[in-house]
Amino acid sequence: MSHKKTYKPQHKAPAKQTPTKAMKPKKQFCWNPFIKICGFVLLFVFCTFIYGDVFVRAQQDAFVVSDATSMKFLTDTPFGHLFWFGRYLMVVFKSKWVGGLILSSLLTAIACQLDAIFRIPARWRGIAFLLPIAIMAYIVELGTNLYYKAEPSCLMLIPFLTLVVLFVVAQIMRFIRRGKEQSETSNKGLRIGFLLAVAGFAGLYADAMYRHQNDILGAKMQNKMMEQDWEGMIDDAMSARRPTRTVAAYHAIALLRTDQLLDRLFEIPYDYPDAGLKKVDGSEEYGLLQADCDFAAGLVQPAYHYAFERIVMDGPTTRNLKRCALCAILTGEKELAEKYLNILKHVPFEQTFVNRYEPMLNNPKLIDEDSELAGVKKFLPKEDLFEQNYRQPVFLGYNLGVNRGSNETLITSAAACLYSKDLVALLPRVNFMVQNGMPISQTMQEALACLAIKQGYQDVVKQYGVNQMIMANLQSFLMAARPYTKDKEALRANLKKDWLGTYFYYYFCENNEGNVDNNRKNKGQVN
């Protein structure tokens, strides 16, 4: 029996194929960290470079010590203990760099918590920054009120408390969602949230830089005064489109300390806008500048009186305590100065100030070696006059009662006459200057020219040697002003470009809400 071989069909192995390289998916741009970093940077720039000086100025009014008795003026008010805590938070703005870093970190953390709570879709990421922007917009809207009429600790309290509340809510939401995964959302589409955040930042910057320019400049100049940066103060004032009374006052102080007061006083416009202060009653703005103006002009007692008055009315501020201490040192009241310095010893980060001035209590000769106090000392009036002789509104002390004394004292006195448009009162000062060989500035000559066109004073041109070119310029000014004599706004607008900086323009066009002819009768008061 033969056995036949059977063959099973052979399956041919497929031809070996060269494996193709797997295509790697294109890595998508990580928008979320990018948006958060951008938001933080923009907030830091704003809190440090744009509005940092306002926050530093607010810190100087946020007086805080650990002693409960000393803080009773605050703790006796509603939410007083909370404000006490907030004032400790404000200490970070002793440096605008440190303060700006911490505040912008708080605000960025708020945006991050909102993202966590609402699980914001990819295309809407960035919209969470609208809340930090809104907080900063509210602070900007307060303007100078932030440290003058409002509680300054709100600057740090509002973002801090907002972050605490959002953090608690985020933890609750995390507990509720435990085990529930977030569904993936498309990373495609227009970045609506990012665009809205960019628009919000643009609006915040524009509002601060344009509508609140004077708030920034006023605070910046006050801070620079403490640093004796006189040239910086002048530059700041010159950059103002329409300076407030505060900006104008610190501009005058800087000119005084650089020996340019009678030469450059009227280079800025004196068409004061509304300062935007709460409960404005016609004199509110002077609280920002009066003590500093009096002090700079050598009127130490009035400066002390006003700084102390603000402490009694509004509670202590670090800035006013410093002013009181310096006034007491200059007047030789050792015990009084020691009292204020001892208080400042307990204020965080004010030991440098105390160390600088405390040695002067036992060694008054050191006053002459200190640039700030020595600069004030030379302006001390040689006449002991009552405060009633100093007129309001304040302008470098408004020491119109001084008509003789040192050359330095007469400079501020003459400037007060020019500002008040009391040109008759200017004459005795000019007489004394001429007798002592002091130069008569171009501004003063222009003022004498204005006086010369009034009945009975035509001889002042010849008497004081007013330059004939100045008289010719006055006639040119009057010709240019003739078409606008019945329209003050048109007068200012049309003559400003060519005549701003001259006394002619100031005398006829600016700061003239009062009756110029009756200035003498009304003690030279102007706006």
pLDDT of residue 43: 98
Per residue in 487-508, pLDDT tens?
A: 989 999 999 999 999 999 999 9
Distance between CA 296 and CA 402 in Å, rounded? 15
User: Residue 188: what pLDDT?
Assistant: 59
pTM value is 0.88
Name 500's bridge partners.
502
Closest CA to 392 of 464, 309, 286: 286
Burial environment of residue 207 by CB neighbours within 10 A (0 to 12, 13 to 18, 19 or more): middle
Q: Which residues of the chain have pLDDT under 70?
A: 1-31, 179-190, 279-283, 382-395, 397-407, 513-527
**What pLDDT is stored for residue 404 in this prediction?**
59
* Ramachandran angles phi, psi of 500, nearest 5°: -60, 135
Structure-token match 């700041």, residue found: 236
What pLDDT shows up at residue 87?
98
Structure tokens at 470: 């100045």
Backbone phi, psi, residue 523, to 5°: 65, 30
Per-residue model confidence (pLDDT) at position 21: 53
CA distance linking residue 522 with residue 527, whole number of Å: 12
Q: Tell me what pLDDT residue 22 has.
A: 52
pLDDT in tens, 383-409: 655 444 555 556 676 666 665 556 677
Q: At what angle do helices 488-499 and 468-481 cross, to 10 degrees?
A: 140
Residue 469's φ and ψ, nearest 5 degrees, are -65, -35
Q: Hey, is 502 helix, strand or coil?
A: strand
CA angle 439, 445, 448 (to 5 degrees): 125
Q: Is the torsion defined by CA of 158, 160, 163, 167 positive or negative?
A: negative
502 DSSP β-pair partners: 500
pLDDT at res. 524: 43
pLDDT, position 406: 62
Phi, psi angles (nearest 5°) of residue 502: -95, 155
